[in-house]
Chain A
C-alpha cells in the first residue's frame, strides 16, 4: 500500500516537473512585429532604416527558423498611431515606431521598453507643387498643409514652424497619411505637404518642389525611430528579446557599412522609393551616422525634448517620464557579443561626438 502511495506521489512530482519545465521553456509560436509604415508592394516591404534591412534580408526568420518560431511583420497604414492601437490590443509584441507616437502611447499608459534605435537623425521635408508661390515656411501661413498627425513628423514640423514664427493653428492642417498626402500634392489638392523622403518620388517626376529640409537646421530638427517591446513579452521571453536585439544590431552593422551602399539602396528600392532618392537622402559617409543603434545622451535628450514639446502642444495631458523607458542591457549584451562596442560613435546631448 505504502509503495503504491509512494509511486503515485513520485508520478505526480514527475508530472509537475515536466509541466514546470515546459512552462519555463514556453516559446511563442509567432513573433509579431508592427511597422509604423504603410509598406509597399505585395508582400509589403519598406526602406530607410536598419529595421528595413532586417526585414528584407529575413534575418529574423533565419534566426528563429530552427526553433520553429514564425516571424510576422505587420504594416500599418495609420503609421505610429495605429501601432499604438495594436499595442494596446496586444496584437503585436515588438514595434518599429517613431519617437512621438511612442510617447503618446506611453502618456496613455502603454507599458513598453525601448530596446535600440533604428533610423535616427532623419529630417522632415516640405514639398509644394512646382508652380506654387510658396518659397519658404513663412509663406505657408493660411495655406492648406498636409501633415500626418501623431507621427514623429509632427513635433519636428511644429518646431520648424515655431522657428519661423508660425503656429499650427495659423495653417489649415489636414491630417493625411503618407500616400494620400503625395496624391493630394500631385493633384494640387493641398498647397504643401510635410513629409519625408517619399517626396523625392514626386520631385523626380516633376510633380513637386522641395522647399525645406529640416536636418539642415541641426540635429534638434530631426526625428528618431526605435524598436520597442511590450513589457509582457519582455518578462515572458527575455531570451527571445536578446536574440531579436542581436539580430537587429547585425542588420544595423550591415546597413552602416559604406561598402554595402549600392546593395543597400537597391534592396531598399523595393519599397517604391528609387535608388537615386536614397542616394540623395543618405549623402556619402552618413550611413553609420544614420543607422546607429546606440541609445546615447543625444537620443535621451531628444526624447525628453519631444516629450516636453508634446506637453506644450497639448498633444498629451500629463508629462511623460522618459527615464526608465530605455532598456539597454540587451543592446549592450549584443554589442559585447558581436564585438561592436566601438563600431558607432556615441553623441552628447547637443549632438556632438563623444570621444
Chain B
C-alpha cells in the first residue's frame, strides 16, 4: 500500500515545469529483486572482450589500436606520477569557481526575474535571446576581452552555469500555483515570509534541476574551454595532448576520467536533491495520509 501511495504521488504531484528533460533511470526500475541485475554488464564485457582480442592480434605496435594493458599502464603511470591529480585538480578548481559564481549570480537573477514582473518584462526577452546563442561561439571573444589565463576560463564557466540556474529558478517561481500564494495571503504572510516560506520551497525542485544542469554544463564548458583557450593544466589539456601526440591510450584514459568525474558530479547533485526534497516530500506524504 505504501508503495502505491509513493508511485501515485510521484505521478500525480504538482507538475514540474516543462523544462529540460531529466537524465537518469526511471524510478520504477529500482529493483525489488533479491539478486543484483547483472544483465547491464553483458554488453560492456562483450565489447571489452572483442577489444582485447582484436588488439592482441593487430595492435600493440604503436598507432591507434592500443591494448587494454597499455591503457592500464598509462592509467597507473598517470595516477602514481601525480599528473592525474594535478590535471584533475586544476580542472575541478576552475569548474568549482565558475559553478559557484555562476550559481550565485544565476540564483539572484532568477529570483529577481521570477518575483518582479517588471524585471521579467525588461530583462526576460534579452536573457531568453542570449540563452539561445550557442555558448562556445563566445569563446574567441571572451578570450580576447578577458585575456590569458584563468580569468577568461572562469568567466566562460560562470556563464555556462548561470544560464540554466537563472532560467530554471525563474520558471520554477513562475510555476508556483496561485493557490499557494492565496493561502499564504489568507494567513497574512508578509512579503518576505511569502517568498521564504512559500515560493522558494515550491520552486525548489525546479531550482535543483537548474543546479544539476549547471553542474553538467559547467563540466562540459570546462572541457571546451581547455580545448579552445590558452594552454594550461587540466584534464581537457591531457585529452588534447593525447590526441596531438597520437597517443590513443592517453585519450582513452582521459575519456574514462572525464566520464567518471561527470557521473560523480551528477550523482552528487542527485543525492543533494533527494536529501532536500525527501524531507519536503515526506512532509507532503504526511499531510495527505
> What is the total of A-B residue contacts with beta carbons within 8 Å?
32
Partner of B148, one of A39, A91, A182, A187: A91
Q: Which residues of A contact B143 (CB under 8 A)?
A: 85
Q: How far is the CA of A88 from the CA of B144 in the complex (A)?
A: 8
Q: How far is the CA of A180 from the CA of B230 in the complex (A)?
A: 14
Q: Which residue of B lies closest to A85 (CB)?
A: B144
Given A75-B231, A77-B231 in contact, is the A180-B244 Cβ separation under 8 Å? Answer: yes
Q: How far is the CA of A179 from the CA of B230 in the complex (A)?
A: 14
Q: How far is the CA of A78 from the CA of B246 in the complex (A)?
A: 20
User: Measuring CB to CB, which residues of chain B are less than 8 angstroms from any residue of chain A?
Assistant: 64, 143-144, 147-148, 230-231, 233, 243-246
Nearest 9 Cβ contacts at the A-B interface: A179-B244, A89-B147, A183-B244, A77-B231, A91-B147, A85-B144, A186-B246, A91-B148, A183-B246
Q: Which residues of B contact A88 (CB under 8 A)?
A: 144
Q: Which residue of B lies closest to A42 (CB)?
A: B233
Q: How far is the CA of A76 from the CA of B232 in the complex (A)?
A: 10
Give the residues from 274 to 328 in chain A that come closer than 8 angstroms, CB to CB, to chain B.
none
Selected A-B contacts with CB under 8 Å, 6 pairs = A42-B233, A77-B230, A89-B148, A91-B147, A179-B245, A180-B244
The interface bits of chain A over 96-113 (1 if a CB of B lies within 8 angstroms of the residue's CB, else 0) are: 000000000000000000
Interface of chain A: mostly helix, strand, loop or mixed: mixed
Q: Which residues of A contact B233 (CB under 8 A)?
A: 42
A116 at the interface (CB under 8 A from B): no
Q: Which residues of B contact A76 (CB under 8 A)?
A: 230
Q: Which residues of B contact A86 (CB under 8 A)?
A: 147-148
Q: How far is the CA of A39 from the CA of B148 in the complex (A)?
A: 15
Q: Which residues of A contact B230 (CB under 8 A)?
A: 76-78, 82
The interface bits of chain A over 172-194 (1 if a CB of B lies within 8 angstroms of the residue's CB, else 0) are: 00000001101100110000000
Q: Which residue of B lies closest to A84 (CB)?
A: B144
Q: How far is the CA of A42 from the CA of B245 in the complex (A)?
A: 15
Flag if A89 contacts B246 (CB, 8 Å). no
Q: How far is the CA of A39 from the CA of B245 in the complex (A)?
A: 14
Q: How far is the CA of A88 from the CA of B147 in the complex (A)?
A: 9
Q: Which residues of A contact B231 (CB under 8 A)?
A: 38-39, 75, 77
Partner of B144, one of A38, A89, A179, A187: A89
Q: Which residue of A lies closest to B146 (CB)?
A: A89
Q: Which residues of B contact A183 (CB under 8 A)?
A: 243-246
B228 to chain A, nearest CB (A): 10
B196 to chain A, nearest CB (A): 44
A74 at the interface (CB under 8 A from B): yes
Flag if A182 contacts B64 (CB, 8 Å). no
Give the residues from 16 to 40 in chain A that come closer than 8 angstroms, CB to CB, to chain B.
38-39
Q: Which residue of B lies closest to A75 (CB)?
A: B231
Q: How far is the CA of A187 from the CA of B248 in the complex (A)?
A: 11
Q: How far is the CA of A76 from the CA of B143 in the complex (A)?
A: 12
Q: Which residues of A contact B244 (CB under 8 A)?
A: 179-180, 182-183
B44 to chain A, nearest CB (A): 27
A143 to chain B, nearest CB (A): 21
Q: Which residue of B lies closest to A178 (CB)?
A: B244
Q: How far is the CA of A186 from the CA of B143 in the complex (A)?
A: 30
Q: Which residues of B contact A39 (CB under 8 A)?
A: 231
